[in-house]
Structure 1
């Protein structure tokens, strides 16, 4: 099934996010990040989708019927009661009961084409349990979620706090999680937010890697995508979705 993390407030995108979650910030007159993500899932045949909601959850709830009709998906909303104060390790943990089904996870602020989902689906098999969509083409800076990966051991490091020159690439916020990884990931996420509620779910991935669970990557190739954190990112998303 598909899973979208859409609980965040996105304060750097005000005034849009005065009343909307970041996933519903308009990219054009009829399109939001959530529209694009649901369309991607539908395009690769994923029609059962759960959305973790928190900040301005009613705005998403009010569009459920429209989303279902428009994209041919069945939606389930998963509440995050700490979305305004805790980070997304807890947000993903809120969806822990769904992980045993196997999920395609997407951050609710990432604009990317359906080719990313196809790449992850094509990378399944050979006992891979968690597969990260990785951009190995982009020049990296300080803010990106950087990854060190080796063919021998899989992901060894995933963090923003890394010399960009050491990284294999950037994790773009889309993961394929197989059912066999559910129990270990659930426990790692719990340990992560219990240690510090401000940590990311990627810190849970790091804990799994440290414990010896292999995490793999799937390079996405030369793909136009952007994580929308601020108004400059939003402008870039609009260029990608509505090229002149």
Structure 2
């Protein structure tokens, strides 16, 4: 199993930081200064702590900044990094971005969004949930109060995901998908095909629509509740302030 990070996004709501950096490389240290840890740093650190040795990073917007740091990140975290180019990063949404990493999925991956600050306990929870024929396991926050913007998930009576979308009454949701997934290698072909269907239908779709496409085809996707832990998806400057507060604890 390897790590996989989606780090191709522009993060326009985080300007001026993202004038020159992809969102995954915006500093989340207390001072917000160059040289402080980034979301990518935190994620790679988590992967190293659970024993992974290889990580694929999907890059696009300002990818040269990731290429410039590749060797230093490899040395710092003891990981071999493979960078995968997304040629549509500034035009299309992340269903296509994850599809660009479809070959990496064959190794089995822990996928992490490049804008999610979270503790290593999330990865540990996913690994602990493996087995029993599970092929895809979503990290799910069942504690947080939900609003309109969150990626909401409904879990059926059998424990499998039935619906994932932002466009849902929060009261109907079981919890929020936090942007971290364990994907076994034998799910790679099915997921890759679902993602292709999604982005060919609408290039602006999220990769979570690929999960929904899979479920609609009869594929089971499981969830793993992460408990009461602090995490944040960084979309804007308010999120960034929260991310800096949280990152100091990890």
Q: Same fold per TM (> 0.5)?
A: yes
Query: What aligned pairs does 1:1-244 form with structure 2 within 5 A after superposition?
Result: 1-28=2-29, 29=33, 30-152=36-158, 154-242=160-248
Distance 1:172 1:229 in 2: 13
- State the 1:157 CA deviation: 0.3
Distance 1:141 1:225 in 2: 16
- State the 1:151 CA deviation: 3.9
- State the 1:153 CA deviation: 5.9
Cα-Cα RMSD = 0.8
Q: Which ranges in structure 2 are unaligned for 5 or more consecutive residues?
A: none
**What is the SS of the residue equivalent to 1:2?**
strand
**What is the SS of the residue equivalent to 1:40?**
helix
Q: TM-score under structure 2 normalisation?
A: 0.96
Distance 1:12 1:188 in 2: 29
Judge which range, 145-154 or 102-111, deviates more. 145-154
Q: Which ranges in structure 1 are unaligned for 5 or more consecutive residues?
A: none
Distance 2:28 2:98 in 1: 25
Distance 2:159 2:45 in 1: 34
- State the 1:179 CA deviation: 1.0
Distance 1:130 1:157 in 2: 14
- State the 1:180 CA deviation: 1.3
Q: TM-score under structure 1 normalisation?
A: 0.98
Distance 2:39 2:158 in 1: 35
Contact 1:153 1:214 in 2 (8 A): no
Judge which range, 145-154 or 124-133, deviates more. 145-154
Distance 1:118 1:176 in 2: 10
Distance 1:198 1:137 in 2: 29
How many residue pairs end up in the alignment? 243
Alpha-carbon spacing, 1:153–1:40, altered in 2? closer, same or farther (3 Å): closer
Distance 1:152 1:38 in 2: 33
Distance 1:153 1:176 in 2: 16
Judge which range, 25-34 or 228-237, deviates more. 25-34
Contact 2:28 2:240 in 1 (8 A): yes
Distance 2:248 2:149 in 1: 25
